[in-house]
Structure 1
């Protein structure tokens, strides 16, 4: 599977963790156990319903493992240092640690957790070696078999309905519920919402402008649908998804589709937002015959999100990544809107 296809499948970083990915080897840190705050705002036992049934958590978990995308971020945002987190090769450093995770660990004065091997399957043996009280995987591809294996030795919280489909706000809420910190989770969400509102208020020119979000490659041209979290994020800032985005939908996925070259000129929108792994990839697209067919390229109304960490930070956003990347994101959009208005 190509990097592009991994990025398209809902979230670049999360789906990359499902695929061959970079091979971190389950590096461990001595005494890598969770370090929760002394107090929590919730009461136990707590029952959480998810795709595989009900998980009853009898007492506040002390050794917490994150799996999938966004769970580690939510755990840390709630003041708990997880015992183990998955490597995230897409956007992460040489150890698969995302920059906002590294920043939060530094802020908390915490050691690096055990790094679980990324891949298409949950590393059951690596997780078992940590001896967790709970595995939190609310945004993941956990299978029934993996859930059963994990449940044999620990509590497991999976996604509410479908794999890789939990709204990012729900990831935070579910994590707060599981850790007995629902009030803290609500505070994290309030802070994020305030950050988004501040950025929207600082950029009133975004209000009502139509946007199309795409990932071009040598093989195909991908368009993100309104159901994709990154589109929802832009709407939070005041943009609207261009009607042409849904009118041209081929129905191949709930959150993206491939657009034929002969239809590119029909992707009508005030603004085009382009995602790319590297500057070279973006530059190659902008000078391609494909790009010349897009009306936004002619007007210069093109914003870019370039770099694996930058793409991952909004794909979808997390409890930590949104505030990490939102300033650059809005600056890029503001620059493109300014060109539109000239």
Structure 2
């Protein structure tokens, strides 16, 4: 679980339908309709906390790094030439199912997998893919790595403000700008927003129901705040974050806080949303004395995502949101029925 927090920015584990891609990963947005339109967008300069990236012409060989950029490129109908390994939720090919499904759907060659196990990008490995640009708007790329890649002649689109802090919607917008596909990126976001709003409309019982998103790590109990993008999705579905959650915020992070076991009974939310890598881990928490301190857990009003793939997919991207939302909504509906029963 700690590995995933590191991989997608310490927020998380520690942040549906067939929308962008038909089925779970089909229907990607089309590429730019004409070269004249695409060329008109270039050159483009994209600022970041590490430096400005100037892209002279429409990239055709795109490399990605971090979380979400790969998904955004695929949702725009392009298969990247190189992507980071997913050592948490990826299978033997180091690609999670929403990415491998999208690659197959688009029919492009399988991307080169860049080893991200050490959370450090290898310039030598990257250069083997001969990319036109490296997209890393939501990543932990360092100034040293940025300078090394740009020094090798590859423009790098890094994060606007700080590592692992770019809002997931901005990742899609930045990617669209870098590829000369602003209009298509806006369409992707519109479809995602429609996906969530349709789910909310189908479940009016969610509106006004209080929820707490927690993660029991045995030694440390995490609770996620409204600034976390996954909590944002829950609130978009109609749920509210109760005062009992924000009152427990120790200000140790912008999107999460830790809660001591003696304070777990203060989490006064109607529904608990959580996750675990294995069902046995979840069962242990729910039946444990510490878990039973939380009123909603004691009542059984718990929605849980189980398995590495499902846990990772809760963090929204252009592909994980359509892939995971139906399951999330189904579990939330059951938990809400128990909470209000």
CA distance in 2, matches of 1:323, 1:175: 18
State the structure with bigger RCO (CA 8 A, min sep 6), 1 or 2. Answer: 2
- Aligned with 1:90 (options 85, 88, 91): 88
Residues 8, 256 of structure 1: 8 Å contact kept = no
- Corresponding position: 1:215 with 2:229: no
Mapping for residues 3-82 of structure 1, pairs under 5 Å = 3=3, 6=6, 9-12=10-13, 39=34, 41-42=37-38, 43-82=41-80
- Normalised TM-score (structure 1): 0.90
Residues 146, 156 of structure 2: 8 Å contact kept = yes
CA distance in 2, matches of 1:248, 1:303: 21
Q: 1:125 Cα deviation (Å)? A: 1.0
Equivalent residue pairs, number: 321
Q: 1:39 Cα deviation (Å)? A: 3.5
CA distance in 2, matches of 1:36, 1:8: 30
Aligned to 2:317: 318
Residues 13, 88 of structure 1: 8 Å contact kept = no
Aligned to 2:190: 190
**SS state of the match for residue 47, structure 2?**
strand
Q: 1:5 to 1:36 in 2, by over 3 A?
A: closer
**SS state of the match for residue 83, structure 2?**
strand
Cα deviation code 1:53-100 (max 9, x no counterpart): 221111001111000101110011111110000001111111210110
Q: 1:308 Cα deviation (Å)? A: 1.1
**SS state of the match for residue 275, structure 1?**
strand
Residues 131, 154 of structure 2: 8 Å contact kept = yes
Cα deviation code 1:216-274 (max 9, x no counterpart): 12212111111111101101101111211110111211111211111111111111111
CA distance in 2, matches of 1:90, 1:172: 22
CA distance in 2, matches of 1:13, 1:253: 11
- Runs ≥4 residues deviating over 2 A: 1-8, 11-14, 35-42
Aligned to 1:117: 115
Q: 1:340 Cα deviation (Å)? A: 1.2
CA distance in 2, matches of 1:84, 1:279: 34
Residues 13, 312 of structure 1: 8 Å contact kept = no
**SS state of the match for residue 159, structure 1?**
coil
- Corresponding position: 1:151 with 2:150: yes
CA distance in 1, matches of 2:13, 2:259: 19
Aligned to 2:24: none
**SS state of the match for residue 50, structure 1?**
coil
Q: 1:8 to 1:73 in 2, by over 3 A?
A: closer
- Corresponding position: 1:165 with 2:165: yes
**SS state of the match for residue 171, structure 2?**
helix
Q: 1:277 Cα deviation (Å)? A: 1.2
Residues 301, 340 of structure 1: 8 Å contact kept = yes
Cα deviation code 1:266-285 (max 9, x no counterpart): 11111111121111110110
Aligned to 1:134: 133
Residues 4, 217 of structure 1: 8 Å contact kept = no
CA distance in 2, matches of 1:116, 1:179: 21
Q: 1:3 Cα deviation (Å)? A: 4.1
Q: 1:303 to 1:283 in 2, by over 3 A?
A: same
Q: 1:290 to 1:248 in 2, by over 3 A?
A: same
Q: 1:111 Cα deviation (Å)? A: 2.2
Identify unmatched segments of 5+ residues in structure 1: 15-34
Q: 1:300 Cα deviation (Å)? A: 1.5
**SS state of the match for residue 241, structure 1?**
coil
**SS state of the match for residue 273, structure 2?**
strand
Identify unmatched segments of 5+ residues in structure 2: 16-29
CA distance in 2, matches of 1:12, 1:240: 19
Q: 1:11 Cα deviation (Å)? A: 3.8
- Corresponding position: 1:180 with 2:180: yes
Aligned to 1:258: 258
